[in-house]
Structure 1
């Protein structure tokens, strides 16, 4: 069963390869400039090979990818003199992130109204294009770390990010006169295009006031950011690009794949292997432990009453949970979800896999982890306390001791989370 769980994940990754999803949505018109940002930047750019192979048009391309993904890049992809691959840091931006964002704005600003700018956007772009506004890079780095550890939702985090940046929240659109076509791979629940990579090509419905409320709600000490946001609140700074802005008339944002795409591919795999599936939702959020409690209650209901479905069945779900970090351990939202699920189910046990489709869960090198029906017994035999590991936010340490981590390396994809629970 463990092999089937891992195979379902890898099958869905292959079925939703960014190159294929992007290729199906390419325009017939040759763009004057291609910008690619995010964890899937390189494979998305690979889809544009037909647009680049033109003796009549010289295309600039400027993909920006996380440095962790660079060694895994397709070895057949070779930058030409008309473009470059610039790796940068993720999830905490660095100086390379600043240079990449500044260069993207510079190139876009050279275009004319008759030009087409093609922007390839995937998750992770928020850190990879970082151009702080009103605060220093060091302050932006500290702010980002605090937000990621706070338990805030991605929508809340991005409300702050957009209002402390020159490129996010439609900043790229404002920097160019060109027509803009953005192809986006979604890594956010509900596929809100304004949240993916903090929306460089989309309108931003959030405000300075809402961004400031996020910092206050989660008690984040960020004096420089608060001062900047308060200036915006007083009307001393321009707001981000808002719905209805005339500039949006020359912009098309097109979703080419998301978490539902991934879950449907996984469902096809399980059903091809004779398993009935129940796809719960691609929009789960909230604390990983609370989400684990919901899934545990569902497992118990199915086992006790056959409600809402009788076993055997595979439960599939996606979305993006959060973790409020209070301990000093290592882990990620998928590993913490599984540890919470094990804590709730106890010795009952279950087969399960939870993993991040980008191959990196939290602050670890693991994509996720497995649960087995004997996980509880094996933990007891090794003297591992599930409760203590949860309190330390050390799900990685727990599953590492059990030998139940899933390590794939960066996948060059990013379609949010995958959870599969098998009830036999």
Structure 2
């Protein structure tokens, strides 16, 4: 969780302390609302020998065995919850952190993130082995959360090539949809392919880290139909001028176009399992809790939705423009007002500093709103912001003044993509450590 006391006091005026406190408490309320353990417990109810999920009842006596496949940043907490609801016969749990508990019949694996590693591949093979062992009388829970695309993999190319391609796509600014379209067509698990190995009844509980919660994109859609194609994957490599450097990958995609390599799962394909998918936590759910807290605190709200995306510098300019319009009375809403939004921006990497999309967004906001009374904070709900150890950052109208006192040149830090270092020196980096959940980013701009 966010250290509200420390960060709220790191400013000069009582009014700023007051509104920093409100913003930080609102962010903590949002994180609590998408806690993976609580989300599973709310969604899956046990009544004697039956479980109820979204109004549908299942008699546990109808199943021979119950399996659990869990992967993503929230997988450990999600698994703990489901294991308290049903008796798990066997399972595989993959996360970006080590589990604080063990079970003899469950394999816990720490995979690589944001770049897949050898453990990610090991996890992928373990999951496929379990899936192929299921029968038509079994029930399998698949617990999916953000980060699953990197944490679990069974690649069609050498791991080193996949790592290199993933890094370059991210560096060139590919969004999550583009990145996943490429990864799905180089995988034996992604793009609905996991379902092709499962039998029986499959229930997927999903914590979404993707804008508008598309089931085919979250963790690269292992248990849903895929709308992307080999043709899309080729186009993305060409868009970012990687087709020559990765001609071996292009050849795989071309083989797929000829029908020599299996496509991702498409509607109408025959499967040996009956499956359903449920979103149990999302950016929208987190923002709803945040908005409720702000309203309880007497703050007017202006919600922009969960779909804000684009280059961080451009998004900051647009959000700051809305903030200035409210401040100057061009938008008919009374101050104090909080502009709330979710989504995921991207960063154009030009320098070699330490930063992330949330801290860079915050630094640009501080630059654009220097003459406005504001508090702004933005965090990655997983507790990770780019290559930094922070979740994000907080700024207010005093930020640039504090920077000048420390001889920090804001433009130099922006040009070097070194936003974490900037906020760390000011004491305004928001450091939570891994939160155990992941519903993309949440941001609040409070104008007063």
TM-score past 0.5 threshold: yes
1:80 CA drift (Å): 1.7
Q: How does 1:26-37 map to 2 (within 5 A)?
A: 26=44, 27=51, 28-30=58-60, 32-37=66-71
1:236 counterpart = 2:266? no
CA distance in 2, matches of 1:324, 1:224: 27
Note the C-alpha offset of 1:179. 2.2
Q: In 2, Cα distance between the equivalents of 1:179 and 1:403?
A: 50
Residue in structure 2 matched with residue 6 of structure 1 by the alignment: 24
How many Å separate the matches in 1 of 2:352 and 2:278?
A: 40
Residue matched to 1:179? 201
Which secondary structure does the structure 1 equivalent of 2:30 belong to? Answer: helix
Whether 1:203 aligns to 2:225 is yes
SS at match of 2:439: coil
1:133-144 superposed matches below 5 A: 133=156, 135-144=157-166
Q: Let me know the Cα RMSD of the aligned residues.
A: 1.6
Segment drifting more, 407-416 vs 22-31: 22-31
Aligned residue number for residue 148 of structure 1 = 170
In structure 1, the residue matched to 2:92 is 62
Report the Cα distance in structure 2 between the residues aligned to 1:79 and 1:345, rounded to whole angstroms.
Answer: 49
Partners of 2:147 and 2:180 in 1: CA distance: 12
**1:342 touches 1:349 (CA, 8 Å); kept in 2?**
no
1:408 is matched with: 432
> For each residue in 1:175-220, what CA deviation from the matched residue of structure 2 results, as whole angstroms up to 9, or x when unmatched?
1222211010000001011111101111111011111111111123
- Which deviates more, 354-363 or 370-379? 370-379
- The residue that corresponds to 2:15 in the other structure is none
2 CA distance for matches of 1:241 and 1:267?
Answer: 38
Task: Give the distance between the partners of 2:211 and 2:272, measured in 1 at CA.
Answer: 24
Question: If the length of structure 2 is used for normalisation, what is the TM-score?
Answer: 0.88
Q: Is the 8 A contact 1:358 1:411 kept in 2?
A: yes
Correspondence for 2:335 among 308, 311, 334: 311
Report if the CA contact (8 A) 1:205-1:243 is conserved: no
User: Which residue is equivalent to 1:375?
Assistant: 399
Q: In 2, distance between residues paired with 1:63 and 1:269?
A: 34
| Shift of residue 93, structure 1, vs aligned partner | 0.9
Q: Deviation per CA, 1:123-145, whole angstroms, max 9, x where unpaired?
A: 00001111111x10000111111
Q: TM-score, normalised by structure 1?
A: 0.93
| Aligned equivalent of 1:332 | 356
Aligned length: 412
In 1, Cα distance between equivalents of 2:286 and 2:346: 20
Residue 328 of structure 2 aligns to a residue in which SS? helix
How far apart are 1:226 and its partner, in Å?
A: 2.0
Mapped contact 2:69–2:142 kept (Cα < 8 A): yes
- 8 A contact 1:286–1:321 mirrored in 2: yes
Worse overlay, 105-114 or 305-314: 305-314
Verify: 1:132 aligned to 2:166, yes or no: no
Higher strand share: 2
Instruction: Show the counterpart of 2:131.
Output: 108
The 5 Å alignment of 1:377-396 reads: 377-396=401-420
Equivalent position SS for 1:242: coil
Within the candidate set 88, 97, 111, 2:120 is matched to 97
**Contact kept? 1:347, 1:376, Cα under 8 Å:** no
Aligned equivalent of 2:211: 189
Q: CA deviation at 1:329?
A: 1.1
Structure 2: distance between partners of 1:198 and 1:412: 19
User: How far 1:349 moved relative to its partner?
Assistant: 5.4
